Amino acid sequence: MRGVIGIDLGSTTTKAIVLDEDGRVLGRGITNSRSNYDVACAVARNEALIDSRFNLFRSRAAFESVAAGARDGIMQRLELGFRREQYSGQLDDLQAACTEHLTGPRFSKVRDAAQGVLESSFATLRSETRALFSETGARRSNFFRDLAGSRLLEIMEPCCRERSVPFDLMMGLYDKSIIGVENHVPEVTFESNVMCAMGDALEGGSLDDIRSAALRAQLEDVARETLTEACVVGTGYGRARLPFPRENIRSEILCHGLGAHAMFPETRTVLDIGGQDTKAIQVDADGIVESFQMNDRCAAGCGRYLGYIADEMNMGVQDLGPMALRAKTPVKINSTCTVFAGAELRDRLAIGQRREDILGGLHRAMILRAMSLLARSGGIRDEFTFTGGVANNEAAVKALECLVQENYGERHLNISPDSIYTGALGAALFARRHAEGEKEVA
Amino acid sequence: MTAPSVHKEPSMARQKEMISQHFKKLTTAHESGKKVVYTFVPGNLTELMLSFDCLPVHPEINALQSGMRKKSAGYIAEAERHGHSEDVCTYVKCDIGMLKKGNIGPTGEHIPPPDLLLLSYTGCFTFMKWFELLREEYDCPVAMLHVPYQGDGEITDDMREYVIRQLREDVIPKFEEVTGQAFDIDRLKDLLASSARAEDDLVTVLESAKHRPSPIDAYFGGVYYIGPIFTAFRGTREAEAYYRELREEVQERMRVGAGPITPEGPLEKERFRLVVEGPPNWTHFREFWRMFHEEGAVVVASTYTKVGGVYDRGFRHDPDRPFETLAEYCLGCYTNLNLPTRTDMISKYVEDYSADGFLINSIKSCNSFSAGQLLILREVEERTGIPGAFVETDLVDPRYFSASNVKNRLESYFQMLAQKQVQAS
């Protein structure tokens, strides 16, 4: 089948969206942007195509005779199984890369012991794979680096002690190896991975052999289906690096405007807070950008600000919002410099202020910066759509709601659970227009 | 590696020669009995200076030249070592740094110390502080011409009289004292008449941008066009010849439907017409210009090219009213205009020059330009219905030019304009 793809190469994550011929979202893919934009772009695109195949399969006729509850269970197990296979393949790559780097001179005295550490650590990591990708497994991220990295180091540390291998050496080995693994595009083995996963997915289900066989046949069919990309449009900070012709590259402003319009057609003002940009965009009834303002010179108050604060507090970035929501009396925090805010944070912790109150103040400070940009762009009109990774942070949303009310009165605030894909969606819509041969837009 | 070749207009060769001759004269000024006057571009009294055979030095021009020649970072660092804060105007720091490092000018020749510091104070408070610093360095007389700010948007008789009185009672006697020459009003009138002729040609050049495609870039190219008339040459035959040549060049391009000549080559296809407010960034001047060239964007009008005289609003030096005309010139410079007047001017440019958009290049260290620019942005957007763009850079501190961020914003802006053009058609 034919589809179009939009790719948003952000400073933190790269997102891709596949639209089918009717303009419906067929699949979404996301990866960390890493140091190599070309790879990030290819990986996000592959992930979106994988997701598309799952969605195609879900819509297949063979599913119709399966009870709704069982259907969801099968799909969940199938996707988890697929991710497990994918993860196992990446673990193999990582171990191979680590083993290869063991040949360096720094390991000359401990090579055998280090080899032992690697083998034993990877064996432990593999033994945890099934639990990690079970329905109850706790996965804080879907990115391989996050999933495998911290756990591998945790396992390695005692191993190193036992075998008298300096842990620093192994950390360096991991760092060097993970970059190599991340910076090559894994071969897409959808068919083999998914067929392996299908066995597990059907196990434990209540399907008879005939239905199971029909589902297998449908899955094989979907796995083999050719997905033709009629057009790919790229956007985002790294767009200049995208391997596309110039006419297939759109600014993130246009893409966020159009994407927000597609999600919420009554949108007139868009606020996007991404990794290093805050954008205030005014759009017309067709999603065409009327004006915009972006942060300039300094990126304090953007997504990376939260990332830095999370590191300072030794927390996961996704845990900041929930903690901030528990603030009783938010404190005032400097928002003009990320690094200074970190210092302020430590000072306030030292004088005994509650983490919740500090984080509450911090989220408000962040949104205050966005408010000034919104004012500069022409204010907040109805409806108001908040996009970007930070829109998933409940405390940021709460601070925004409060400040919008204070400054502009009642406004309808839209936030999509897929807000992080807004730019990619806009890019995909531009790709669709392009593919349909509509009049060239820019 | 060979540097990429730079395309230039023929008149630029003449201008380069004029500047080089001027610096040569400066180097030998004291040997040849000439007096050297340090003064600023906005509200400069060039004709009066020339009537006393003085040679002007413009510290802010030296600073911008140092910026273009990649010398400003070192000069700024030098000034900061002497205690100037990071937030001080970078023109000031660049000049002070250059002075501390031996006062070698942009052509590599030594700039002589001043015989007179002539401060024509027009709208920029920093100028006064700057000359206080220079006064500390040099043991020479100071003439201060206080030019009242056009707070209410007009030049009143009192304001004009106030400036004239200072000219008569303070500035001219200082010149007589320093040069030992008597004031010669006929000579001043001759110079003023010559100025007016060159000013006519300059206005023709600037207004040629109303034509489609515009034969000039009125910002990046514009800063070259204003060079002679804003500095040492207004009132001279050389300036008249330069502007005549420039006008002919521009009119010829207009006749054949050619666009402006940029360092990257002629602009082949005009896609966007812009009005720009604010001074350029000098340290990355060519790179900044290239960002426009690549997108087919041409600046059709700019406010920066009015800092040394707003000629396109009708002002001409008038030999029949020598004192009044000098006073009106100083009072009318762009930096001496209030925010409503600036807003009117930009809005009118957008309309008169059929602009698709307008950009504010906000300069970190230039308070006189930057204060109120967000208000201007909003007002102009409302009046013209055209969205504005806003980027922040600096004059001559290379640390404050973030190329990828500026480019990202400009690209987004141009794509938005393109989308509007498609929608409109």
Nearest CA-CA partner of A155 in A238, A82, A91, A236: A91
Of A250, A291, A441, nearest to B422 by CB-CB distance is A441
Of A237, A289, A294, nearest to B419 by CB-CB distance is A289
CA distance B415 to chain A (A): 6
pTM of the model: 0.84
3-state secondary structure of B335: helix
Whether ipTM > 0.85 holds is no
Q: Residue B262 in contact with residue B220, Cβ under 8 Å?
A: yes
Question: Which site among B419, B421, B423 would you substitute to test the A interface, given the most A Cβ atoms closer than 10 Å to its Cβ?
Answer: B419
Whether B422 and A440 lie within 8 Å, measured CB to CB: yes
pLDDT range class, residue B423, cuts 50, 70, 90: confident
Given a cut of 90, whether residue B310 has pLDDT beyond it is yes
Going by their DSSP bridges, the two strands A278-283 and A269-273 should be labelled as antiparallel
For residue A289, what is the enclosing H or E element? strand A289-294
Question: Which site among B407, B416, B417, B422 would you substitute to test the A interface, given the most A Cβ atoms closer than 10 Å to its Cβ?
Answer: B416
Q: Residue B91 in contact with residue B396, Cβ under 8 Å?
A: yes
Residue B282: its pLDDT value, please? 96
- Across the A/B interface, how many CB contacts are shorter than 8 Å? 60
User: pLDDT tens for residues A162-172?
Assistant: 999 999 999 99
Query: Which residues in chain B have their CB less than 8 angstroms from residue A293's CB?
Result: 390
Whether A291 and B387 lie within 8 Å, measured CB to CB: yes
Of B388, B400, B412, nearest to A253 by CB-CB distance is B412
pLDDT range class, residue A313, cuts 50, 70, 90: confident
Whether B402 and A297 lie within 8 Å, measured CB to CB: yes
Given a cut of 70, whether residue B375 has pLDDT beyond it is yes
What's the mean pLDDT in A164-192? 86
Of B374, B392, B412, nearest to A252 by CB-CB distance is B412
In chain B, domain spans: 10-183, 188-424
AA identity, residue A72: D
Domains B10-183 and B188-424 share a fold: yes
Nearest CA in chain B to A286: B423
Query: Which residues in chain B have their CB less than 8 angstroms from residue A288's CB?
Result: 419-420, 423
pLDDT range class, residue A188, cuts 50, 70, 90: low
Residue A273: its pLDDT value, please? 92
pLDDT range class, residue A327, cuts 50, 70, 90: very high
AA identity, residue A164: S
Query: Which residues in chain B have their CB less than 8 angstroms from residue A250's CB?
Result: 415
3-state secondary structure of A110: coil
Q: To which residue do tokens 């911090």 refer?
A: A362
CA distance A203 to chain B (A): 52
Whether A297 and B392 lie within 8 Å, measured CB to CB: yes
What's the mean pLDDT in B398-403? 89
CA distance B411 to chain A (A): 7
Q: Residue B47 in contact with residue B188, Cβ under 8 Å?
A: yes
pLDDT range class, residue A146, cuts 50, 70, 90: confident
Nearest CA in chain A to B406: A296
Domain B188-424, CATH: 3.40.50.11900
Query: Which residues in chain B have their CB less than 8 angstroms from residue A290's CB?
Result: 387
What's the mean pLDDT in B364-381? 89
Residue B51: its pLDDT value, please? 97
| Two tokens, residue B44 | 């400069």
Query: Which residues in chain A have their CB less than 8 angstroms from residue B415's CB?
Result: 250-251, 253-254, 442
Q: To which residue do tokens 């007179």 refer?
A: B116
Query: Which residues in chain B have their CB less than 8 angstroms from residue A441's CB?
Result: 418-419, 422
Residue A229: its pLDDT value, please? 84
DSSP letter at B226 equals T
- Which CATH number does the domain A265-415 belong to among 3.40.50.800, 3.30.420.40, 3.90.1150.10, 3.30.70.1350? 3.30.420.40
Q: Would you list the DSSP string of B183-209?
A: --HHHHHHHHHHHHHHHHHHHHHHHGG
CA distance A383 to chain B (A): 20
User: pLDDT tens for residues B217-254?
Assistant: 999 999 999 999 999 999 999 999 999 999 999 999 99
CA B353 to each of CA B207, B271, B341, B348, B362: distance values in angstroms, whole numbers, following the listed order: 8, 14, 18, 8, 22
List the beta bridge partners of residue B272. Answer: B297
Determine the Cα–Cα distance for residues B246 and B266; give it in Å rounded to an integer. Answer: 16
Q: Residue A63 in contact with residue A86, Cβ under 8 Å?
A: no
Q: Residue B159: phi, psi to the nearest 5?
A: -65, -45
- For residue A376, count other CB atoms closer than 10 A to its CB: 18
Determine the Cα–Cα distance for residues B83 and B215; give it in Å rounded to an integer. Answer: 46
CA distance A290 to chain B (A): 7
Determine the Cα–Cα distance for residues A404 and A411; give it in Å rounded to an integer. Answer: 7
Q: Residue A279 in contact with residue A270, Cβ under 8 Å?
A: yes
In chain A, domain spans: 2-79+197-225+232-239, 82-182, 265-415
Question: Which site among A9, A255, A292 would you substitute to test the B interface, given the most B Cβ atoms closer than 10 Å to its Cβ?
Answer: A292
Residue A224: its pLDDT value, please? 86
pLDDT range class, residue A336, cuts 50, 70, 90: low
AA identity, residue B163: V
List the beta bridge partners of residue B387. Answer: none
Q: Residue A271 in contact with residue A386, Cβ under 8 Å?
A: yes
CA distance A380 to chain B (A): 14
Residue A442: its pLDDT value, please? 31
What does pLDDT average to over chain A? 87
Whether B423 and A288 lie within 8 Å, measured CB to CB: yes
What does pLDDT average to over chain B? 93
User: pLDDT tens for residues B5-35?
Assistant: 777 888 888 998 999 999 999 999 999 999 9
Given a cut of 60, whether residue B3 has pLDDT beyond it is no
Whether B408 and A376 lie within 8 Å, measured CB to CB: no
List the beta bridge partners of residue A280. Answer: A271, A293
Q: Residue A293 in contact with residue A279, Cβ under 8 Å?
A: yes
CA distance A247 to chain B (A): 11
Whether A253 and B415 lie within 8 Å, measured CB to CB: yes
Nearest CA in chain B to A251: B412
Peptide bond into B213 cis (omega under 30): yes
Whether A441 and B374 lie within 8 Å, measured CB to CB: no
Whether B415 and A250 lie within 8 Å, measured CB to CB: yes
Q: Angle at the Cα of A85 (from A80 to A87), degrees rounded to 5?
A: 90
Q: To which residue do tokens 């760092």 refer?
A: A175
Q: Residue A324 in contact with residue A366, Cβ under 8 Å?
A: no
pLDDT range class, residue A270, cuts 50, 70, 90: very high
Query: Which residues in chain A have their CB less than 8 angstroms from residue B377's CB?
Result: 376
Nearest CA in chain A to B376: A376
Q: Residue B355 in contact with residue B321, Cβ under 8 Å?
A: no
Going by their DSSP bridges, the two strands B35-38 and A413-414 should be labelled as unpaired
Given a cut of 70, whether residue A439 has pLDDT beyond it is no
User: pLDDT tens for residues A209-262?
Assistant: 777 888 888 888 888 888 888 888 888 877 766 777 777 888 889 999 999 999
CA distance A114 to chain B (A): 43
Query: Which residues in chain B have their CB less than 8 angstroms from residue A376's CB?
Result: 374, 377-378, 390
AA identity, residue B176: E
pLDDT range class, residue A205, cuts 50, 70, 90: low
Q: Residue A109: phi, psi to the nearest 5?
A: -90, -20
pLDDT range class, residue B422, cuts 50, 70, 90: confident
Determine the Cα–Cα distance for residues A131 and A22; give it in Å rounded to an integer. Answer: 39
Of B381, B391, B405, nearest to A291 by CB-CB distance is B381
Question: Which site among A235, A246, A253 would you substitute to test the B interface, given the most B Cβ atoms closer than 10 Å to its Cβ?
Answer: A253
User: pLDDT tens for residues B72-82?
Assistant: 999 999 999 99
The residues, ordered by sequence, that sit 6+ positions from A220 with a Cβ below 8 Å of its Cβ are A191, A195
User: pLDDT tens for residues B38-67?
Assistant: 999 999 999 999 999 999 999 999 999 999
The residues, ordered by sequence, that sit 6+ positions from B396 with a Cβ below 8 Å of its Cβ are B63, B64, B66, B67, B72, B76, B90, B91, B94, B282, B283
Q: Residue A352 in contact with residue A386, Cβ under 8 Å?
A: no
User: pLDDT tens for residues A342-373?
Assistant: 888 888 889 999 999 999 999 998 899 899 89
CA distance A25 to chain B (A): 24
Given a cut of 50, whether residue B2 has pLDDT beyond it is no
Q: Which residues of A touch B (CB under 8 A)?
A: 237, 250-254, 286, 288-294, 296-297, 376, 378, 439-442
Domain B10-183, CATH: 3.40.50.11890
User: pLDDT tens for residues B79-123?
Assistant: 999 999 988 999 999 999 999 999 998 888 899 999 999 998 887
Peptide bond into B277 cis (omega under 30): no
- A320-324: long-range contacts (C-beta < 8 A, 24 or more apart)? A320/A359, A320/A363, A320/A393, A320/A395, A321/A363, A321/A392, A321/A393, A321/A394, A321/A395, A321/A396, A322/A394, A322/A395, A323/A355, A323/A356, A323/A359, A323/A395, A324/A356, A324/A359, A324/A360, A324/A362, A324/A363, A324/A395
Query: Which residues in chain B have their CB less than 8 angstroms from residue A442's CB?
Result: 414-415, 418-419, 422
